[in-house]
Amino acid sequence: MIVTDMKSRIIEEIQEWKQKRNAILLAHNYQIPEIQDIADVLGDSLALARAAADTTADVIVFCGVHFMAETAAILSPEKTILLPDLDAGCSLADSITADQLRDWKAQHPGAVVVSYVNTSAEVKAESDYCCTSSNAVEIVNSIPDDQEILFLPDMFLGSFVKNETGRENMHIWMGECHVHAGIAPDHVEGVLEKHPEAELLIHPECGCSTSSMYLKSEGILPAEKTHILSTGNMLKRSKESEAEEFIVATEVGIIHQMEKQNPDKRFLAANPNAVCPFMKMITLEKVLAALKENKHVISVPEEIANQAKLSIDRMVAIG
């Protein structure tokens, strides 16, 4: 009871400070339940980027990880972007640097660079297009068929996009999100064995996504029940489907929203240990401190921001 009262007081104070500062709270689907529940906009990377670009708020409190706050700063340079915990990083974004990308581009002169949004501002500045898991296929399809493509940094998403588009001239960087990579085929198969009627909702970053595409094509996984989707589209599918059970292969934070939106349905984590420690760093207390103390302001140098914005604008416009 004491803990509940304290939490309620913190939430009330957050709302007061949001009004004082004309602030908006953006939160990713992987955040802890308390943060999801108070967010003004809750969504995947693409939805949050669009919200950051469109908001009339003076202050954006970004409850996500560092690259997301950087993207908001690039899209809305006139606004104050706050990241409540500076240690909220991303193992996937760390898997490639701007220098590594420049070297890769030198090996493939003239290639079009498509970077997943899970990258640093410096990498985005070296890219032609940004994408998210919800529009990566559409972005690659928008590029002429004879154009060589460098896709980075996630190898599982890259394999999914290459399979969906049939692009043979697409090179894939061998990076991964350690949380998603840890969701293996045997995790999915183990849960499916116990719940054969469940639908499979699989994020393309997962270590099981490549095998799932193959098993689906071979008829081993039921095609009508196997869906490889972004987090936003996972939520949409869970609401629209008539299925009563779902096996969810992504970071487990999304299950809170699924259960909240579909109280009569059951959601099972393919791997209950698929927890991103960076996404769980932001708490109600840190959000309040961010608003009261202006912690921590995220900005991007103007030259890098201007270059990166070109690729991000293309991402926001497609899909």
Q: How far apart are CA 172 and CA 150, in angstroms?
A: 6
Q: How far is CA 86 from the centre of its chain?
A: 18
Whether residue 231 is annotated as binding a ligand: the answer is yes
Whether residue 159 is annotated as binding a ligand: the answer is no
Whether residue 133 is annotated as binding a ligand: the answer is yes
Spatial contact of 32 and 282, defined as CB atoms under 8 Å apart: yes
Whether residue 163 is annotated as binding a ligand: the answer is no
| Residues paired with 297 in a beta bridge | 82
Whether residue 177 is annotated as binding a ligand: the answer is yes
Q: How far apart are CA 9 and CA 164, in angstroms?
A: 49
Tokens, residue 141: 């399809």
Whether residue 211 is annotated as binding a ligand: the answer is no
Whether residue 90 is annotated as binding a ligand: the answer is yes
Q: Tell me how far CA of residue 274 lies from CA of 148, 180, 247, 280, in angstroms.
A: 34, 7, 13, 12
Whether residue 208 is annotated as binding a ligand: the answer is no
Q: Locate all alpha helices (DSSP H) within the chain, ordered by sequence.
A: 2-21, 33-38, 45-54, 66-75, 98-107, 121-125, 136-141, 155-165, 178-181, 185-194, 209-217, 231-240, 254-261, 284-293, 302-317
The residues near 169 (Cβ < 8 Å, ≥ 6 apart) are 146, 147, 148, 149
Whether residue 242 is annotated as binding a ligand: the answer is no
Tokens, residue 94: 């760390």
The annotation places the binding site for [4Fe-4S] cluster at 90, 177, 276
The annotation places the binding site at 28, 45, 90, 116-118, 133, 177, 203-205, 231, 276
The annotation places the binding site for iminosuccinate at 28, 45, 116-118, 133, 203-205, 231
